[in-house]
Amino acid sequence: MLTGKHGEYKLTFDKDGRKTSERLVTPPQPGYNVVTTLDVRLQELAEKALEAKAKRGAIVILDPNSGDVLALASWPAYDPNLFVPSISTEQLQALQNDPDIPLLPRAYRSSYPPGSTFKIAVGIAALESGAVRSDDQFNCVPAIQIGNVTFHNWKKGDRGSLNFVQALTESCDTWFYQVGIKTGAQPIIDWALKLGFGAKCGIPLRGEAEGRVPNDEYMKATHGRKLLNGDIANLSIGQGDLQVTPLQMAQAMGIVANGGTFYQTRLVQQVQTLDNEIVTAYQVRAKRTLDLLSETREQLRIGMIDAVNGRGGTGHQASLDNVEVAGKTGTAQWGPKNKERTAAWFAGFSPADQPQYAFAALYEGDVGSKVHGGSTAAPMIADVFKEIYKGQEVAKRHRGEREPEVRRAEPVEEEDESD
């Protein structure tokens, strides 16, 4: 599409090597121009944030009101001009042998366990299925026993009884273990699929990963059994066999941000000739609408706002002075046990009350490193949107401290690991 096609000339020479005739057999065809949805400034800011703060990672930013991809950044990157007109063998080998794999577009071709960012999907499933009401409370204890396995919370200490907003704000694992099992695997799987996980977003780039939402069929084929309560517990905090791409995560945040409309993710607006004539136009298209209850939408919004701006929120390093960001942190391990890496996430939307941007940031840690979504991924998003909103007076609602629930213990805050 972009490269066009070579033409062909037929030349005739006499026995002395003199050209005797010249004829155009096939005229060359110029390539088309592609008009993308990318916002150059956002793309540059995303790449700058990754370069400054991530050895490996990705940032995706979408317009939640259209599905347009505004930034699609992966790190490390490489200079695409190396391939024009062709790359040398030495240069190609250097890129291929780089252990950080700069040729890999992590934003859409790599999938990772989403960690606690997936608690948003679990919360939707729990509230929409009626398994849990927003004011139901469950104990946020240090650990619970499921079968013969002990499942721990990421944070030490007994946090007392929490409702949904509080559990999302503090990202309490043991709360979500209980709620996930009470909800059951199928509603969680169904809502994950409705949010676009487990399927390609459909951008016109090769190699987009589908990710994976494990169901009984997958578990039987892979592990020889159906999903058990321990698997549901892992699923409820975005770990185990669950895999998502940063692009899928940003897409899901867009659905939450706009209240339930699933727009087709769009990277290309138009294909044009060199004379700017439109060959193909790709329109904004709503694939479906998720009929989320107003209570569900409001609980998600408040919980994600408090996760960034409220007391005890895990995403406070994404907080801005002049705009309210809504988001969710996540931290998950993946890979072989002796070579485990950590994927640190921050995903959400901004401004919280009238979203213009939905985003997902991923920080891919080294083997054995301790990285966390709140302390590594959230600051990258802050760097991007500080620049976007610089000098703008965007209303930020003052959030007074909520009346605390009765807690059994209020331990001193630990070093910020931010889930």
Amino acid identity for residue 132 in this structure = V
Residues 173-183, mean pLDDT to the nearest whole number: 98
* Nearest CA among 3, 127, 136, 110 for reference residue 56: 110
Max distance between CA atoms of the chain, in angstroms, equals: 101
User: 285-313 pLDDT, tens per residue?
Assistant: 999 999 999 999 999 999 999 999 999 99
**With pLDDT > 70 as the criterion, what percentage of the chain qualifies?**
94
Question: How many residues does the structure list for the chain?
Answer: 419
The domain segmentation of the chain, as residue ranges, is 37-77+103-388
pTM for the full model? 0.90
pLDDT band for 394, please (50, 70, 90 cuts). low
User: 37-71 pLDDT, tens per residue?
Assistant: 999 999 999 999 999 999 999 999 999 999 999 99
Angle subtended by helix axes 119-129 and 294-309, to nearest 10: 150
Which residues, at least 6 apart from 270, have a Cβ–Cβ distance to it below 8 Å? 34, 35, 278, 279, 280, 281, 282
CB-side exposure of 123: number of CA atoms within 13 Å?
Answer: 32
Q: Measured between alpha carbons, how far is residue 87 from residues 18, 94, 409 in Å?
A: 35, 11, 62
User: 194-206 pLDDT, tens per residue?
Assistant: 999 999 999 999 9
pLDDT band for 395, please (50, 70, 90 cuts). low
- The CATH class that applies to domain 37-77+103-388 reads alpha beta
